[in-house]
């Protein structure tokens, strides 16, 4: 659970304008409406206070949803906004609340849909039209009312001060006071004694009425009272009055408006200004100025193929600006530049949210805005909060027998999951759902089982091994049914009747040369000619493709140009294949089927133009030998049964083709004999790993032996474009070279440990600390995306003291060479040597803590001991060089691969003075106190023995698999009673003096626990040295290998 300032939110007569942003160390989330508020209507607002810790925006939204009674289905309509509504926070945004932090954010409904009332209203998708449900449930409707009312009264809506508008606003005030009287169970006369009708009007209108003479004000007041008495006789419920208020407000023009964003064309100044407009009804529009009356439509959300964010380059140097590229399925693109990353993320998160609500609830455009809960669901192959009807229908459509199952989130609880299983009854199939609860400590508890599990995979693993008894029926889990792209469910919203196909404006569009492209030829542009041949299922014709006339004036130029083409037409007996809702597999994707239509022109900025050719004979028509000959491009399931050809099979073929392209067209499996090829699949072998790490991961995903695990092509496009757009800089200032290979000779003679800053191409952020950040970059002096991936550390602030400490860290790391310590590649200076960056080797699996959390189910005791032994070896080497690390923790240990970890982050490291075995730190700074030894807490004394203490904590982290709920900080704070004392170091030191230590990790063998306890001896002299620990851990590792062997 999120730690708030109290178990219940601070509710009462609160407006976000009255909140105190100067409240130090607190993040305040303003809520427009709290059900069962202790205050009387309309004062139902409240606040949630969060202190000390890291919170994602989505976590805060979930906490706010719980407080406001918002169900998980409607949770995706909400987001967090800045107090002045100048920006929105993406779900993945991290708030780091510390002592000096102070901020107020608003919990608001961000995503609105047209015609959500009336006969042609928007609705949530149902299996049938009769089963469609409203977009908003009652709780969300109440919140929308409170938010809209606050915006209307609190100057967030621009309302013209005409006589007609004045009457409409007074009508809204009548409805406002009427629902308040019904809510309070008072008469309107009693309510008006405490609430003035003017308090229900916008401030500008209040001022306008106040400026009227006494007679006019009295007339308006009498007319208002008469209207209120008349309306109060109607037997209307509060919910109806709120709905009527929202309808009238939308008719007034003060309803939910489209969002507007200011940007400009990339690389241009004020002349290139562009305004972007986004709404559920109209999609994405643009204009040259905000005052323009009719913005130009760009596209609807269903037409978006990909959205990317990349850092802008000005004068050869990276700047704060971010370039956002929206690519349509027809390859046309809109590219704009935002002044900062926050504006770009605010814009992209809006597109991302609407796309999930309207098109595909499982997709996200880029990782910068991906909701963490969605990433968790994808990792666990879990559906969102879909209804039982959709779950049962999906299992029926799967066609499997009893035991088929799917995992989905609960419709009513954010911490619950439902395992829906198909049960074979005597006459029909039934569907049962089992509850799985996520506990506050991060573990999972299935209904009826006392044992707690660390992950959903563990729970499913138990259910697969053991049969289940549900209402007297024995069930054995069978086929898993994971989420699929663009699935129909109640998570999708069908827009009302006002939505239509949006026209596109060609004036802003351009070809996105750095994007994956799709070219669609309209049937009306093709002219069929003479028959030149036929095949088993097709006929071949000559033909012409006519280019469409884009402008009316083009007719004066004569006939449109035509391109000669060859048409392959499906025989009439097989035309039904083309009617499968565009889910037709190709079936023979390989480099031999990729045709080069036009060579690229690098000088002109035109990439090569390629096309995927006809698949030829279908695998279903091939003999067993013919199908085997297509290994490894043909998917394994098609070798077993050619009739299993599906879109997922093409994903396998694409992965093999991608591997083939980046190996110069060489495919080693192609030369094998038929039996060797079959064994390649039977043994579930993989192609050799590519050197380009990101591509290797993508190929591995595409060539997964389980077809549902392969990523959809839209996700593949997203990942490929993220590789391409990370290298946006054009190296026009590279000197020309006549040497073969494109300029390798230019690099000869340079210091290999000094990197040119301009050649470091930013890809993504790997991590951020208090003083510095680490980014993934590609060092690419040739500009061909073949350079080495490196991790680059740089300071966020450059005070002289911090610069000196950074240089000290670089000096330490450059002096170390060991298999289990992160290697320093060198340094990079900016122009003029004003800033310094540390270039290190890139370890793609990230920090050990995150790796443990993600891979807990497949990391056994031997693997954990291997990591512990490698850390011991690295620390022993450090000690031999008289270095002390001072920040040894799993967050600072990086994973190279499954069998090797390396020690990193030497920001706090020190070298022991000659003649001394300890170092006393004098300079202040933030410290990882829960990993510190007692002498370090008491006297700031650090030594190799204090590093041994930290290693004991690392052992604890290893055997708790980096659990956040059982982290050292959480455990010690739990011992302190979560009182968050001001002198937390003193309280921690007292606990250690009382021999209080971290609790034994669940399932930890006693001999390993004994090693931990030895490392935590209060006296430094009683702790083992790293050379001793290396021997002990290695012996434990070998003993467990023998016991398992």
Dihedral angle at the C-alpha atoms of 464, 466, 468, 473, nearest 10 degrees?
110
- How is residue 922 annotated by DSSP? -
Does the annotation place 772 within a ligand binding site?
yes
Q: Alpha-carbon distance 434 to 447, whole Å? A: 7
Does the annotation place 616 within a ligand binding site?
no
Of the candidates 422, 419, 425, which has an alpha carbon nearest to the alpha carbon of residue 449? 419
Task: Report the relative pairing of strands 824-829 and 754-756 from DSSP bridges.
Answer: parallel
Beta-ladder partners of 99: none
Residues 6+ apart with CB under 8 A from 973: 980
CB of 884 closer than 8 Å to CB of 943 = yes
HEC profile for 154-169?
CCCCCCCCCHHHHHHH
In the numeric block, which tokens belong to residue 517?
């492209």
Does the annotation place 435 within a ligand binding site?
no
Does the annotation place 569 within a ligand binding site?
no
Q: Alpha-carbon distance 400 to 729, whole Å? A: 51
Q: Please, what's the largest Cα pairwise distance for the chain? A: 102
Dihedral angle at the C-alpha atoms of 137, 140, 146, 147, nearest 10 degrees?
-130
Does the annotation place 768 within a ligand binding site?
yes
- How is residue 542 annotated by DSSP? E
Does the annotation place 19 within a ligand binding site?
no
- How is residue 606 annotated by DSSP? B
- Nearest 5°: the CA angle 83, 84, 89 is 60
Does the annotation place 624 within a ligand binding site?
no
Q: How many CA atoms lie within 13 A of 1023 on its CB side?
A: 23
DSSP 73-128: HHHTTEEEEETTSS-EE-TT-EEEE-TT-EEEEEEEE----TT-SSTT--EE--SS
CB of 1011 closer than 8 Å to CB of 966 = no
What sign has the CA pseudo-torsion 630, 631, 632, 636? positive
Of the candidates 282, 327, 325, which has an alpha carbon nearest to the alpha carbon of residue 304? 327
Q: Alpha-carbon distance 872 to 954, whole Å? A: 11
Q: Alpha-carbon distance 418 to 409, whole Å? A: 6
Q: How many CA atoms lie within 13 A of 102 on its CB side?
A: 7
Q: Which helix (H) or strand (E) holds 600?
A: none
Does the annotation place 902 within a ligand binding site?
no
Residue 418, helix vs strand vs coil: strand
Cis peptide before 632 (omega within 30 of 0): yes
Residues 6+ apart with CB under 8 A from 260: 275, 276, 277, 290
Q: Alpha-carbon distance 48 to 8, whole Å? A: 8
DSSP 175-240: HHHHHHHHHHT--HHHHHTTS-GGGGS-HHHHHHHHTS-HHHHHHHHHHHHHHHHHHHTS---HHH
Distance of CA 480 to the CA centre of its chain: 24
For residue 778, which phi and psi values (nearest 5 degrees)? -115, 125
Residues 6+ apart with CB under 8 A from 855: none
Q: Alpha-carbon distance 1016 to 1036, whole Å? A: 19
For residue 918, which phi and psi values (nearest 5 degrees)? -150, 165
Does the annotation place 494 within a ligand binding site?
no
Q: Alpha carbon of 799 to those of 547, 771, 834: distances in Å?
A: 61, 10, 12
Beta-ladder partners of 754: 827
Q: Which residue has the tokens 């270095």?
A: 883
Active site residues: 887
Q: Alpha-carbon distance 15 to 656, whole Å? A: 58
Residue 420, helix vs strand vs coil: strand
Terminal Cα distance for the chain, rounded: 41
Does the annotation place 1042 within a ligand binding site?
no
Q: Which residues are annotated as a binding site?
A: 766-774, 793
Annotated binding site for ATP: 766-774, 793
């Amino acid at each position: 659970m999120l730690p708030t300032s109290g178990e219940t939110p601070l509710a009462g007569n609160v407006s976000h304008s009255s909140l105190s942003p100067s409240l130090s160390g607190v993040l305040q989330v303003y809520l427009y409406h709290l059900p069962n508020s202790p205050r009387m209507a309309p004062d139902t607002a409240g606040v949630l206070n969060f202190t000390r810790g890291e919170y994602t925006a989505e976590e805060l939204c979930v906490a706010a949803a719980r407080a406001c009674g918002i169900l998980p289905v409607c949770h995706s309509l909400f987001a967090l906004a800045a107090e002045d509504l100048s920006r929105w926070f993406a779900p993945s945004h991290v708030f780091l609340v510390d002592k000096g932090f102070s901020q107020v954010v608003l919990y608001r409904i961000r995503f609105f849909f047209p015609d959500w009332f009336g006969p042609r209203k928007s609705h949530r998708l149902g299996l049938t039209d009769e089963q469609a449900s409203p977009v908003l449930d009652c709780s969300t409707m109440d919140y929308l009312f409170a938010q809209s009312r606050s915006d209307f009264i609190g100057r967030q809506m621009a309302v013209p001060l005409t006589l007609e508008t004045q009457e409409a606003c007074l009508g809204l005030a009548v409805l406002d006071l009427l629902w308040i009287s019904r809510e309070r169970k008072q008469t309107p006369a009693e309510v008006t004694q405490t609430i003035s009708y003017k308090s229900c009007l916008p401030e500008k209108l209040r001022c306008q009425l106040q400026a009227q003479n006494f007679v006019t004000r009295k007339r308006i007041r009498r007319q208002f009272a008469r209207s209120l008495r008349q309306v109060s006789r109607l037997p209307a419920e509060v919910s109806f009055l709120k709905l009527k208020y929202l309808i009238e407000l939308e008719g007034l023009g003060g309803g939910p408006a489209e969002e507007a964003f200011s940007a400009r064309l990339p690389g241009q100044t004020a002349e290139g200004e562009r305004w972007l407009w986004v709404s559920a009804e109209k999609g994405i529009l643009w204009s040259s100025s905000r005052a323009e009356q009719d913005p130009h439509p760009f596209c609807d959300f269903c037409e978006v193929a990909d959205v990317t964010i990349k850092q802008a380059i000005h004068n050869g140097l990276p700047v704060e600006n971010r370039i956002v590229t929206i690519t349509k399925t027809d390859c046309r693109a809109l590219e704009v530049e935002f002044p900062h990353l926050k504006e770009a993320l605010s814009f992209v998160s809006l597109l991302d949210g609407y796309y999930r609500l309207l098109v595909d609830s499982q997709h996200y455009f880029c990782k910068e805005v991906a909701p963490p809960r969605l990433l968790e669901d994808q990792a666990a192959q879990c559906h969102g909060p879909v209804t039982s009807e959709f779950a049962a229908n999906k299992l029926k459509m799967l066609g499997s027998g009893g035991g088929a199952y799917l995992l989905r989130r609960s419709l009513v609880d954010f911490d619950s999951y439902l395992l829906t299983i198909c049960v074979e009854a005597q006459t029909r199939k039934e569907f049962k759902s089992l509850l799985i609860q996520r506990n506050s400590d991060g573990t999972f508890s299935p209904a009826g089982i006392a044992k707690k599990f660390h992950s959903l995979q563990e729970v499913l693993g138990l259910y697969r091994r053991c049969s289940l008894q549900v209402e007297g029926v024995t069930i054995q889990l069978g086929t898993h049914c994971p989420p699929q792209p663009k699935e129909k469910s109640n998570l999708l919203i069908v827009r009302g009747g006002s939505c239509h196909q949006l026209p596109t404006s060609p004036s802003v569009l351009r070809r996105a040369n750095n994007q994956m492209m799709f070219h669609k030829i309209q049937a009306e542009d093709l002219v069929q000619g003479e028959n030149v041949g036929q095949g088993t299922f097709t006929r071949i014709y000559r033909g012409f493709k006519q280019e469409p006339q884009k402008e009316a004036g083009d007719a004066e130029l004569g006939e449109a140009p035509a391109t000669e083409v060859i048409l392959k037409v499906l025989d009439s007996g097989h035309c039904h294949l083309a009617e499968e809702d565009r889910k037709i597999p190709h079936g023979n994707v390989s480099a031999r089927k990729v045709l080069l239509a036009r060579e690229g022109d690098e000088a002109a900025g035109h990439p090569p133009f390629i096309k995927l050719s006809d698949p030829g004979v279908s695998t279903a028509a091939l003999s067993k030998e013919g199908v085997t000959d297509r290994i490894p491009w043909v998917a394994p399931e098609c070798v077993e049964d050619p009739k299993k050809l599906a879109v997922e099979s093409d994903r396998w073929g694409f992965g093999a083709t991608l591997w083939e392209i980046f190996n110069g067209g060489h495919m080693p499996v192609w030369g094998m004999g038929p039996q060797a090829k079959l064994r390649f699949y039977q043994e579930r072998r993989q192609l050799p790993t590519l050197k380009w790490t990101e591509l290797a991961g993508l190929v591995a995903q595409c060539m997964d032996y389980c077809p549902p695990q392969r990523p959809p092509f839209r996700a593949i496009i997203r990942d490929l474009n993220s590789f391409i757009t990370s290298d946006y800089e054009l190296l026009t200032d590279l000197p020309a070279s006549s040497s073969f290979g494109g300029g390798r000779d230019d690099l000869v003679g340079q210091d290999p440990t000094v990197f040119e800053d301009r050649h470091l191409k930013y890809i993504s952020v790997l991590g951020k600390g208090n003083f510095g950040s680490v980014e993934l970059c590609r060092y690419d002096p040739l500009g061909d995306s073949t350079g080495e991936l490196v991790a680059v550390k740089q300071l966020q602030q450059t005070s002289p003291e911090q610069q000196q400490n950074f240089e000290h860290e670089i000096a330490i790391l450059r002096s170390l060479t060991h298999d289990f310590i992160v290697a320093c590649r060198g340094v990079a200076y900016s122009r003029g040597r004003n800033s310094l960056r540390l270039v290190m080797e890139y370890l793609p699996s990230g920090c050990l803590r995150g790796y443990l959390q993600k891979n807990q189910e497949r990391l056994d005791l031997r693997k954990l001991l291997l990591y512990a032994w490698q850390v011991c070896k690295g620390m022993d080497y450090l000690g031999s060089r008289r270095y002390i690390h001072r920040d040894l923790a799993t967050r600072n240990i990086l994973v190279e691969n499954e069998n090797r970890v390396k020690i990193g982050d030497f920001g706090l490291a020190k070298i022991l003075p000659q003649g001394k075995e300890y170092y006393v730190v004098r300079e202040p700074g933030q410290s990882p106190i829960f990993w510190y030894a007692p002498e370090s807490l008491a006297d700031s004394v650090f030594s190799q023995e204090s590093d041994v203490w930290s290693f004991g904590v690392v052992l604890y982290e290893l055997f708790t698999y980096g659990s956040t709920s059982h982290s050292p900080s959480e455990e010690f704070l739990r011992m302190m009673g979560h009182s968050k004392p001001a002198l937390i170091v003193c309280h921690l030191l007292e606990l250690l003096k009382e021999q209080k230590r971290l609790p034994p990790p669940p399932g930890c063998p006693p001999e390993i626990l004994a090693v931990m306890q030895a490392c935590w001896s209060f006296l430094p002299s009683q702790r083992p040295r790293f050379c001793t620990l290396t021997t002990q851990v290695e012996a434990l590792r070998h003993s467990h290998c023998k016991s398992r062997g």
